[in-house]
Amino acid sequence: MAAVLEVRDLQVRFATPDGEVSAVNGVSFDVNESECVGIVGESGSGKSQLFMAVMGLLAKNGRTLGSAKYRGTELVGMPVDKLNKIRGDKIAMIFQDSMTGLTPHLRIGRQMTEVLEEHKGMGGADARARALDMLNLVRIPEAARRLNQYPHELSGGMRQRVMIAMALLCEPELLIADEPTTALDVTVQAQILELMADLKRVTKAAVVLITHDLGTVAGLCDKVQVMYGGRFMETGDVRQIFYKPQHPYTKGLLSSMPRLTEDRRTTLYAIPGQPPNLQRLPAGCPFQERCEFVHQRCVDELPLLQEARPGQFKACHLESLEHPVDDPTRAAIPAEAMPPVIRDVRTA
Amino acid sequence: MLSYAVRRLLEAIPTLLVIVALSFFLMHAAPGGPFDSERVLPPEIEANLKAAYNLDKPVWQQFVIYLGNALQGNFGPSFTYKDFTVSELLGTGFPVSLRLGLTAILLAVIIGCTLGILAAMRQNTRTDYSIMGFAMIGITIPNFVMAPLLTLVFGIYLGMLPVAGWGDGSIQYIILPVVALALPQIAIISRLTRGGMVEVLRSNFVRTAHAKGLPERVIIVRHTLRAALLPVVSYLGPAIAGLVTGSVVIEQIFGLPGIGRYFVQGAINRDYTLVMGTVITYGTLIVLMNLLVDLVYGLLDPRVRYD
């Protein structure tokens, strides 16, 4: 399978008045044709900024280092007019906030046809017909009427459908969906996810799904990449990640998902502590301050992605999650030298 | 929209009545009267004058008489400009002020918006800083400094334009006053435009537009401008009303026959009828301009509803 997107050692940094913030710290991965990749991480893990950088949509104070290639063409540092030939046409993006993502003073039809005008040279009735087809494809009721409506006349779910339809207008090879269901009601979320699963079959576009919701990933994705502190903690096949997580962070994420089978009186597990300050990332593992298996090596040395099981990679010094307590290096770090958050957990 | 406009116009009637009543009674509460001067009039003559102008009656009676006349379009004679009615004074002066004001505001909108957009697109660069620096100067230099400066440079040193006067009202007479009127407006409008643009450029829908691969020009014109100009529109309503009723400073400096001077002179001379005439003119304009702003809002933003 050929790669649609090849990312190598990509870094994103923001200049702020308090110093430089490293949002993404060197990630490498491929997205292959008609593949669905899930990027999972909590707020501030750099998952959104990673793809903002790929799309050239970073805020003005941000800069991108490394490489991101679409079909062999370097996107990082590409002049905007050339980039505009690719984004919206070959690579499309859906954003999380459907309520504010559409221009309030333009009719839905206009916002859709302008994409076709720009990339396909289509105009007038042709573009309108195509827009109507796409609205029908995303199952918007009374699609013909919607073309003449303004965004505020549509519900949140419908607006997100419009966003998806708009992204698919030019039959992109890669669709990046940045938390497409976050701002929606649970029932609408389910509908949108169902729609995305259907569309994935119909369009054959490769999909990158950025989310903090593991459930979303499980239903849609082939591959999963777990992000933390601007790095990949664990990558692999979706089944491997869910059934045999190899990284303490992935395991923590999975444990903090509510389950219907669980007794309602038990407290939901939460990973202790806060995500790291991206301005002062620790020298070693970014997860060290919250990891219950932390040992001296984690503090000293940054773990690199290594194959844990066939096709599954983890950035962790632990031999295995199954017997972490037997790890001989673990005793090397005295309890009082540990971050306070972990100490509390241990003593509890 | 039409029924909304009609309703707003009807609502304007009580508003104007309140303005007229307040000004009338406030004005009469101020000490002195139109016939007080350094030369003391014989008491009989003063009594006769007062009787002729109904000034001997209680104030509320005067108000009723004035209102009755005003409703019939009779704004009375001026007390100080002998042989002129208020309608004549305002009728001849208003076209002059209107022409100056509208030209100035048109110029200010075109230049101000362009500069504001430019500054917002080049935010935090030298272009932005110089435009905003110019705007700051434009706001801080009062027009009684700017106007003589313009006259000095273009009227006297360069001799390109007449120093003052209205002449036959042709273009060379209005250039300098219009520029003097427009400069602070350009400054304010460019700052408002920049502020609006900067805010809208940061919004999610502009990011969506970038992600769609639209060129910068389309994003600015189609996706940003309408939302960004809302603060400018709000400002323009009262600003137009203010500008077309003339500026006393500019009219004095350039010796122009506008109505700006009547606002000040009327008040100083206790020229009751003239003051009321200017108040009604300005009040009506403000009410109309605010209505216009609200209607334009509806054109710019489809979320605005009239009901």
Residues A115-157: tens digit of each pLDDT: 999 999 888 899 999 999 999 988 899 999 999 999 999 988 8
Is the pLDDT score of A252 beyond 90? Answer: no
Q: Do B303 and A93 touch (CB under 8 A)?
A: no
CA–CA distance, A235 with A245 (Å, rounded to integer): 10
Q: How far apart are CA B55 and CA B42, in angstroms?
A: 16
Q: Tell me whether residue B29 is in a domain.
A: no
Per-residue pLDDT tens for A168-203?
Answer: 899 899 999 998 887 778 888 888 888 888 888 888
What does the alpha-carbon distance between residue A154 and residue A151 come to, in Å, rounded to a whole number?
6
Contact call for B212 and A83, based on CB within 8 A: no
Smallest CA–CA distance from A176 into chain B, residue: B211
pLDDT tens-place string over residues B89-122? 888 889 889 999 999 999 999 999 999 999 999 8
Complex ipTM value: 0.87
Residue from the list B203, B213, B301 with its beta carbon closest to the beta carbon of A85: B213
Above 80 in pLDDT, residue A343? no
Q: How confident is the model at residue A344, as a pLDDT?
A: 47
- What does residue B169 show for φ and ψ, rounded to 5 degrees? 80, 15
**Does the pLDDT at position A98 exceed 90?**
no
- Other CB atoms within 10 Å distance of the CB of residue B47: 13
Does residue B42 belong to the interface with chain A, where contact is any CB pair within 8 Å?
A: no
- Rounded CA Rg of chain B: 24
Indicate if the alpha-carbon torsion angle A273, A279, A280, A281 is positive or negative. Answer: positive
The confidence band for B40, taking pLDDT boundaries of 50, 70 and 90, is confident
Residue A219 CA to chain centroid, in angstroms? 15
On chain B, the residues whose CB falls within 8 A of the CB of A84 are 213-215
- Asked whether the predicted pLDDT for residue A44 surpasses 70, the reply is yes
Residue A13 to residues A227, B32, B128, Cα–Cα distance (Å) = 16, 72, 25
- Does B140 map to a domain? yes
Q: Please indicate, yes or no, if residue B56 is contained in any of the structural domains.
A: no
Q: What is the pLDDT of residues A102-118, one digit of tens each?
A: 999 999 999 999 999 99
**How far apart are alpha carbons A232 and B17 in whole angstroms?**
71
Backbone angles phi, psi at A89, to 5 degrees: -105, -65
**Can you give the pLDDT at residue A324?**
56
Nearest to B205 among A57, A83, A102 (CB): A102
What's the confidence (pLDDT) of residue A232? 92
Q: Which residue of A has its CA nearest to B301?
A: A105
- Whether residue B9 is contained in a domain is answered as no
Residue B5: predicted pLDDT: 87
Gap between the Cα atoms of A66 and A77, Å rounded:
10
Q: Which pLDDT belongs to residue A28?
A: 93
Q: How many domains does chain B have?
A: 1
Please tell me the distance from the alpha carbon of residue B5 to that of residue B290, in angstroms, as a whole number.
11
Q: What is the C-alpha R_g of chain A?
A: 22
Report the CATH number at residue B261: 1.10.3720.10
User: Could you tell me if residue B217 is inside a domain?
Assistant: yes
Asked whether the predicted pLDDT for residue A347 surpasses 80, the reply is no
For residue B164, count other CB atoms closer than 10 A to its CB. 17
Residue B7 lies in a domain: no
Domain of residue B91: give its range.
86-268
Q: Cα angle at B192 between B187 and B197, to 5 degrees?
A: 125
* Each residue's pLDDT tens digit, B212-223: 999 999 999 999
| A177 CB within 8 Å of a chain B CB | no
Token pair belonging to A134: 């796409």
Query: Which residue has tokens 């096709």?
Result: A311
φ, ψ (nearest 5 deg) of residue B127: -60, -50
- Tokens of residue A108, six digits: 């839905």
What is the identity of the amino acid at A328?
Answer: P
Which residues make Cβ contacts (< 8 Å) with residue B10, sequence separation at least 6? none
Give the separation between CA A342 and CA A348, rounded to whole angstroms: 10
pLDDT digits (tens, 9 = 90+) for B234-287: 999 999 998 988 888 888 888 888 888 888 888 888 888 888 999 998 999 999
Q: Which amino acid is at A187?
A: T
| CA–CA separation, B62 and B68 (whole Å) | 10
Chain B neighbors of A106, CB-CB under 8 A? 222-223
Q: Give the global pTM.
A: 0.83
